[in-house]
Structure 1
Amino acid sequence: MTVETAETVGVIVQTLAVLVAASGVIVALSMGVADRRAADARADLDRREARRLADHHFRLDMLVRLARNVNDPGHTDDKVSSQLAAERAALLHVIGPDGLPITWETYVGPTVDESRSIANNADVDKLKRCQNEVAVKITDEIANWRSGPSVS
């Protein structure tokens, strides 16, 4: 083999080595991108599941609190009795009228739209308007939270 042939073979080998290394880099980058996308997808699913479970635990906690409140036989002190009724109404507004329609009708009375109307009616007693305004705000906040953008 001549010197020129040896140099040519050396250049060809070096060129092939560079091409193989460059191909390896491209494959590694492609795999890294694919792996990152898969990890993002898994993380997104995990966040959605965590949000679903948090909502479930929150609703169960509210239902347990409401069950204790509804099953309480009452209190002889009017102030305590009034506080229990206020908590019951707030819990029902968190759960919503669709969740417990009979309990809603029994303890809350007006629908959310009726409460909204009462809150905006200047002819109604101010305390009653405030109570309905707070009840509507609770219901609206829960609805906004549930319909808001998913966690990503």
Structure 2
Amino acid sequence: MIRAAAEADLPALRAIQQVSLDEPWPDLLATTADGPLILVAEDPTPVGYLVAIPGETHTYLAELAVTPAARRSGYGTELLDALTERTSGRIELTVQESDDGARAFYNSHGFVVAERLESYYKNGDGLLLVSALGE
């Protein structure tokens, strides 16, 4: 099930963030009040989440993370689908250029490389991916 995050979810989401992301952004999960859109995948406890920042021309998908044990079970797709239902227009995100798994996932959902971002991550270059999903 996908739902909006509640304050009570934040400790579990921070734990998912720490085990799932090479370069987590802890401040994204500071609060659910007046912050970015945070969606949670649960089964029955949180197994994944996404953080999105809606803008005037596009939505920036800041993080999408699923616990290692729950990967390849469809939660990432469900989260991405829920985001497209809640937003309109283009979705943008960045991935590490060397992260073949993430690139394949987003490619399978219609995202394409818009720009190469040199030294974007501590561990190397990034890619800006864009999709017309939700238009």
Question: What TM-score bracket applies, with the shorter chain setting the length?
Answer: under 0.3
Q: Structure 2 length as normaliser, TM-score?
A: 0.24
Instruction: Give the strand-richer structure, 1 or 2.
Output: 2
Instruction: Give the helix-richer structure, 1 or 2.
Output: 1
> Highest CA radius of gyration, 1 or 2?
1
Q: Structure 1 length as normaliser, TM-score?
A: 0.22
